[in-house]
Amino acid sequence: MSAPGSRASVPTPRPELQLLRPDHAPALLSFEETNRAYFAATVPDRGDAYFRDFDARHHALLDEQAAGVCRFHVLVGDGGEIVGRINLLDLADGCAELGYRIAEKATGQGLATWAVRQVCDLAVTTYGLTGLRAATTHDNPGSRAVLTRTGFVPVGDVRLGGVPGTSFALTL
């Protein structure tokens, strides 16, 4: 019971996990632009060409998805704002590479862990995958924690954009 005059804590509703569509382009570009500096602190920057050629890149991603090569997902919050992306890349032989980004303002709420779990479930039930790979830099403890919490285990050292990191694997 809440004390008089206090507010009870109301859980924040989770955004909806959606498969990437053409109409997501404006919100996805806004997400990437708004969070560019935040992401660049722990992962290699996408570069100016990514933003300049965004429309062509978005169409190319949708073509890859239609061909069954990749599955791109976005986390859509209230009002259609994108607060994250969780992707399965290079689907082949029952496996794929997992990648994800969560908006700076949405971090620290368990959203990445929740979203990775959702995509892992889709990987099995919808996409028929049996294993996932992921990698993160050593200077990204949040991402390392998400991977560990969702069952990924370290399998080796890698370099990501010239930065030391760890490769992870998950058997589904």
Whether pLDDT at 5 is above 50? no
Q: What tens digit of pLDDT does each residue of 48-75 get?
A: 999 999 999 999 999 999 999 999 999 9
Whether pLDDT at 81 is above 60? yes
Whether pLDDT at 85 is above 50? yes
Q: What tens digit of pLDDT does each residue of 117-157 get?
A: 999 999 999 999 999 999 999 989 999 999 999 999 999 99
Looking at the chain, the whole-number percentage of residues with pLDDT higher than 70 is 93
For strands 131-137 and 95-102, give the pairing: parallel
Looking at the chain, the whole-number percentage of residues with pLDDT higher than 90 is 85
Q: What tens digit of pLDDT does each residue of 28-48 get?
A: 999 999 999 999 988 888 999
Sorted by where each starts, the structural domains of the chain and their CATH numbers stand as: 16-171 (3.40.630.30)
Neighbours of 133 (CB within 10 A): 17
Give the pLDDT of residue 11: 54
**Residue/partner pairs of 40-43 with CB below 8 Å, 24 or more apart:** 42/137, 42/139, 42/140, 42/142, 42/143, 43/101, 43/137, 43/140, 43/160, 43/161
pTM: 0.90
